[in-house]
Amino acid sequence: MDYVPNTEAQLAEMLRTIGARSFEDLLSNIPADMRARGLDVPSGLSEPEVLALAESLAAGNRSVRELSSFAGFGAYHHFIPTAVDAIASRGEWLTPYTPYQAEASQGTLQMIYEFQTMISELLQMDVANASLYDGASSFAEAGVLALRAGARTRLLVSDTVHPHYREVLATYLSGFACTVQTIPHVNGVTDLEALAAAMKDDVAAVMLQQPNVFGCLEPMEQAGELAHRAGALFVANVYPISLGLLQPPGAYGADIAVAEGRCLGSPLTAGGPGLGLFAASQELLRRLPGRLVGCTTDHAGQRGFTLTLQTREQHIRREKATSNVCTNAGWLCLRATIFLSLLGPAGLRRMAELSLQNAHELRERMREVGFEPSFDQPFFNEWTMRWPREEHAGRLLRRLERAGIVSGVPLAEWYPMQERDAVWCATEQTTREQMDRLCRAVRA
């Protein structure tokens, strides 16, 4: 059981030990405007009164159901069949904690096995694990695996990879004797000449994103060839819904494929939790992070499922472990498995087609009202546009907010040279009415 201090003296001693003067010191890195200010709940309320108060407070939040949102940037509003909620909410799925005891967890283990199979097929990779925490941690784990597998010390990461993913990678590798080198972009995609010039025999992996953070489609096959020619691994970070139309990582020779899988049957929920997808080639099977469920037979010859290739204890061996990730996003795995089962290949392709069509239609309509494309590249359902006039960008952003429109994500925070650029997104959920509302607000 976790230790909980039961006296103020014990709490004070713990704070002194870690060099903190007070509990507030532990929260000092959290910006003041993001700190909870507490709920002003009068005492002595009845249950109906408490529920009414809670509902009135919750009504202050606005979701994509009330707003017209054109912000993607890693979190996407996609259709979720009602059956996903109905099946995933059954008590059998909500009660198990962890499937270490195979004899008592066959249902959960079979679900994870089916999930692994579907993700392997979706990504066209040899093997997939039982998931990780989110797409960013999957990306970071891919970097760790590449460094250990090749006994090399340098990673080449395109600056078109989502900045949050690159930040998580840097945090993961802060204790490693390695170098992460950023490869610049040209016209919205990775500069292949710069990548080729950076390729040396100490490079463990080349890491790209498809589609990239600007929405542009990367030359993945050429980048993979450059990596393999130098004996390095090629890591592809992909968007699962796009694979209804785009080539999967296995088709262009990726050694490791990772993704954020929340778009497969789970809602946005204010940005979390996430579902980290992780798949690899057969040669890297024994180096996979996290759990892996296998299919076997019991003493009576009947089919059964079990955790395989790793012991539970390997996750606590620090630097000697394959990975210190020892769990997975189980319920989101379940939702993704149900979602993919319901849609099938044809349904996934149709969802991707509608997203593509809506995105290209909206981009053209935005050009008509004064926006300029930032890059001349093919794209899937995200694209980067320049605000019509620099001095009016902030005013326009505020006008859109007042009109109930969530604009594209401004890039200046991560790409200072693109201070007038923002990444916009459309999915199959984007309606003509929402497009009309955006264009009217911009014209005004």
DSSP letters along 206-249, please?
Answer: EEEEES-TTSBPP-HHHHHHHHHHTT-EEEEEE-GGGGGTSPPG
Q: Which of 372, 362, 431 is nearest to 77 (CA)?
A: 431
Whether 4 shows a pLDDT value over 60: the answer reads no
Domain boundary among 323, 338, 353: 338
Q: What is the DSSP string of 12-37?
A: HHHHHHTT-SSHHHHTTTS-GGGS--
| 56 domain residue, yes or no | no
Domain assignment of residue 268, given as a range? 82-338
pLDDT at 8: 79
Read off the tokens for 199.
């390729």
pLDDT at 380: 98
Query: What is the rounded CA–CA span in Å between residue 83 and residue 63?
Result: 21
Question: pLDDT tens for residues 325-337?
Answer: 877 888 999 999 9
The pTM (predicted TM-score) of the whole model is: 0.89
| 196 domain residue, yes or no | yes
Read off the tokens for 271.
């940005």
pLDDT at 390: 65
DSSP for residue 408:
P
pLDDT at 122: 98
Query: Both 191 and 124 in a single domain?
Result: yes
Query: Both 133 and 188 in a single domain?
Result: yes
* % of the chain with per-residue pLDDT over 70: 95
Q: Give the model's confidence band at 6: pLDDT under 50 very low, under 70 low, under 90 confident, else very high.
A: low
Q: Give the model's confidence band at 393: pLDDT under 50 very low, under 70 low, under 90 confident, else very high.
A: low
Read off the tokens for 400.
């859109």
Domain boundary among 282, 308, 338: 338
Query: What is the rounded CA–CA span in Å between residue 352 and residue 79?
Result: 11
- Asked whether 157 and 183 are in contact (CB, 8 A), the reply is yes
SS3 52: helix
Q: Give the model's confidence band at 270: pLDDT under 50 very low, under 70 low, under 90 confident, else very high.
A: confident
Q: Give the model's confidence band at 391: pLDDT under 50 very low, under 70 low, under 90 confident, else very high.
A: low
Question: pLDDT tens for residues 18-57?
Answer: 888 888 888 888 888 888 777 778 888 899 999 999 899 8
| 10 domain residue, yes or no | no
